[in-house]
Amino acid sequence: MIDTVIFDWGGTLTPWATVDHLAGWRRLADVLHADDPDRAEVFAAALLAADEARWMTVRDEHRAFTLAHVLADAADGADHPRERYEAALEAYREYWVQYTATDPDAAPMLAALRERGLKLGVLSSTAWPREWHEELFRRDGVLDLFDACVWTSELPWTKPHPTAFHAAMSAVGATDPGRCVYVGDRPYDDISGAKGVGMRAVLVPHSDIPAVQHVAVDVQPDGVIQRLADLPELLADW
């Protein structure tokens, strides 16, 4: 029998959204260079390029990174006051609010699994700090439904690296990967990563993952769900 269910965040607990990433970085750059729109536009493009390069490193080497790494990679030599730097990050964060609504099915589904005595966790490959994610979960009333959340911005490695999955298991108090299920939207990062450490894996197949992020992998999930609400029934006999 299973005793633990661990979830991906983007594309799973939060439905997939197609995002204009340059527009988000423009929000940040416009605050940092409020007195120079041309410089702000150049810096926004540099931030996008740095962000995309970091995600390619995630794809190819599974090395984790943070927003601070992106900002350092795109550094233009300007010395910004701390207050302006923090305001710029907040502007970037606010841009993303429109894309971060937790799936309405999540809370009742999680509550149903908790009633069965299952440990629940999150493992997400992300550059964002823990505080940003927890605020989103708190806003949507699901933060307290998890035993622990692991964000790779606090780890050396991202999914599908085995250490990321082991970190999530440790965080929720799971000891046997054979009694754990991972739920995610990406065949490579989520399904192959989870099965590679001995977990079972459930695919949520609705994300329009960019072609540049695809990695060919010969793996089959142990289950497929069309809605998060379908998960408790799928797991009932596992």
- Helical H runs in 18-176? 21-32, 37-61, 67-73, 82-96, 106-115, 130-139, 162-172
> Residue 151 in contact with residue 124, Cβ under 8 Å?
yes
Confidence at residue 90, expressed as pLDDT on a 0 to 100 scale: 97
pLDDT at 237 over 90: no
Confidence at residue 220, expressed as pLDDT on a 0 to 100 scale: 96
pLDDT per position as a tens digit, 198-212 = 999 999 999 998 888
Confidence at residue 203, expressed as pLDDT on a 0 to 100 scale: 98
pLDDT per position as a tens digit, 58-92 = 999 999 999 999 999 998 777 788 899 999 999 99
Structure tokens at 127: 């550059």
Overall residue count recorded for the chain in this entry: 238
Q: Report which of 236, 221, 233 is spatially closest to residue 8, judged by C-alpha positions.
A: 221
Confidence at residue 80, expressed as pLDDT on a 0 to 100 scale: 81
Longest CA–CA span in the chain (Å) reads: 61
CATH classification code of 4-16+99-235: 3.40.50.1000
Instruction: Based on DSSP, count helices (H) and strands (E) in the chain, helices before strands.
Output: 9, 6
pLDDT at 223 over 90: yes
Q: Residue type for 156, please? A: P
pLDDT per position as a tens digit, 15-41 = 999 999 999 999 999 999 999 999 999
Confidence at residue 78, expressed as pLDDT on a 0 to 100 scale: 73
Structure tokens at 120: 């629940």
Confidence at residue 77, expressed as pLDDT on a 0 to 100 scale: 75
